[in-house]
Chains A and B, each alone.
Chain A
Amino acid sequence: MTNLKEIILKKIHERKVVMRPRWPFVLRGILLLVLAGIIVCFALFVVIILTASLRETGMMHLPVFGAPGLFHLFINLPWLIILGVFIALILVEILFKKFSFGYRTPTLILLSIIGVATVFGGILLSSIGPRDITRQIRNNNFVRFQMHEGPEFIKMRPLTHGIIRELNASDILIETNSETIRVLFDNLTQFPDGKEVLSIGSPVFVGGLRTGNTVRAFGISNEPPELQFYRRQMMQKK
């Protein structure tokens, strides 16, 4: 018997060293899973709000205008929130790495699965969930969510939608929920639904940046039905 072996076994027999029971390890594993579950649910909740908000504001429809639409959707995404979700998922991974008594987890695969599941789950749930989720949440004071909401945010959005009230060779006048805006268009402006959308009284969806009460359009199309729904609601309230 080696000296080291003698010393250790002596300590064990004298009960100076005691084996820890199994349950704390199991409990720690369960707590870790619960914590990870809470973080994932939070991430899912944020994604639901995010996609619902993008849909309800019309931002999700910007890609119909091709590259300029995609570009504006991309730069207008609430990156801080997306970063927050990403950090939350990394936190889950760190927790697993530091505290799980299991072995190495394939990090990239795990993160990808959780990330993709969260994003697609969020998009799916927000699409089958009730309409106007963000407004309902705000009205119930459940969470104050300023993203894409409020008059200042609305003016900064690269999109406008309303009904054409005046039609000229290179501009139109549209009436939105709250104001009248002149929309300028040229040869570069995209018309994915054709130029027929330009008729007095028709509801249109305009992609373009705003300066004062003028919008320089990079695309004009039919107004998506859900935006018409919100506009009607606003009109009724007025």
Chain B
Amino acid sequence: MVEQNPEPSDEIIASRIQQGNTDALGILIDRYEARLKRYGMRFLAYDDDIEDAVQEIFIKAYQNIQSFDATRKFSSWIYRVAHNEFVNHIRRHARDPLPFLDFEVDTLIPHPFSDDTPESDLEKKEMKELMDKALKKLSPKYREILLLFYYEELSYEEIADILRIPKTTVGVRLNRAKKEIKKHL
């Protein structure tokens, strides 16, 4: 039996792009287009311009690919690019005011412990149903963390990398977001 070569990881593909293989970007677009569109549509809470926003994310990712550290996770990096793009998008459209500096006390002095609790699949499913009903009513800060955790199913580590907040703060913010969304139901 001939063993099939596993598909190259995102990081390997990103390294190829860094070395000049621009067509390899197509593979990453295939892998991330749908995910970023889904993330963007829910984060921005409206779906106009989402095509343009996602296109802009891939263009920025290509332009700045030399800043990517191939020893780290590509998904965190591209989501970080997406986060910046969506935040700029929100600021430009001014439908939801955001602070000028994406910097808060809890990002500087992290919580010593995250008060998260492990959730069962059923709880996660229930949470997703709740989110579908009330997500648009939440502030972008809470909306985004719920999206990254429940829809994108990213780990605390990855979310911490994307939002540039300590890992313990991810847990605390996630809990606050859950309490917040329940108020809107």
Contact = CB atoms under 8 A, between A and B. Distances in A.
A205 to B, nearest CB: 39
Contact of A11 (B29, B59, B69): B59
B110 A108 contact: yes
A106 B166 contact: yes
A4 B65 contact: no
B166 A107 contact: yes
B33 A5 contact: yes
Nearest to A1: B26
A19 interface: yes
Contacts of A102: 69
Interface string B61-75: 011111101001000
Interface residues of B, number: 34
B108 A107 contact: yes
Q: DSSP class of B's interface residues: helix, strand, loop or mixed?
A: helix
A111 B18 CA distance: 33
Interface in A153-197: none
A92 to B, nearest CB: 12
A224 B72 CA distance: 56
Main secondary structure of the interface of A (DSSP, over half): helix
Contacts of A4: 29, 33, 51, 54-55, 58
Interface string B57-93: 0110011111101001000100000000000000000
Contacts of A9: 22-23, 25-26
A9 B166 CA distance: 36
A17 interface: yes
Interface of A: 1-2, 4-5, 7-9, 11-13, 17-22, 25, 90, 93-94, 97-98, 101-104, 106-108, 111
Query: What 4 pairs across the A-B complex have the smallest Cβ distances?
Result: A101-B67, A22-B66, A25-B67, A5-B29
Interface of B: 17-18, 22-23, 25-26, 29-30, 33, 51, 54-55, 58-59, 62-67, 69, 72, 76, 101, 103, 107-110, 160-161, 164-166
7 contacts: A4-B54, A8-B58, A12-B25, A19-B17, A19-B63, A106-B166, A108-B166
